[in-house]
Amino acid sequence: MFTSYMAISNMSSTMGNEFVGYIKEWISFDMSFILLGVLALVPLIFLIWINPDSM
């Protein structure tokens, strides 16, 4: 379980650093924090369809 966690963590860190490199060319540093913060909240929309009683 720990190995899977570390693999996903390393992969997301690498992909995030690559993504920030592309974003930095288009928008300012401050705006990139706002944009990526909003993108981090997008998955919360999917919680609408999860029924906690069925878990």
DSSP code for 21: H
Tens digit of each residue's pLDDT (9 = 90 or more) over 20-46? 778 778 888 888 888 878 888 998 888
For residue 2, the one-letter residue type is F
What length does the chain have?
A: 55
> Is the per-residue pLDDT at 55 higher than 80?
no
Q: 54 pLDDT band (50/70/90 cuts)?
A: confident
Looking at the chain, the whole-number percentage of residues with pLDDT higher than 70 is 100
What is the gyration radius of the CA atoms in the chain, in angstroms?
A: 15
Whole-prediction pTM: 0.47
Q: Name the residue among 36, 14, 11, 12 with its Cα closest to residue 24.
A: 36
Q: What residue ranges do the domains of the chain occupy?
A: 2-41
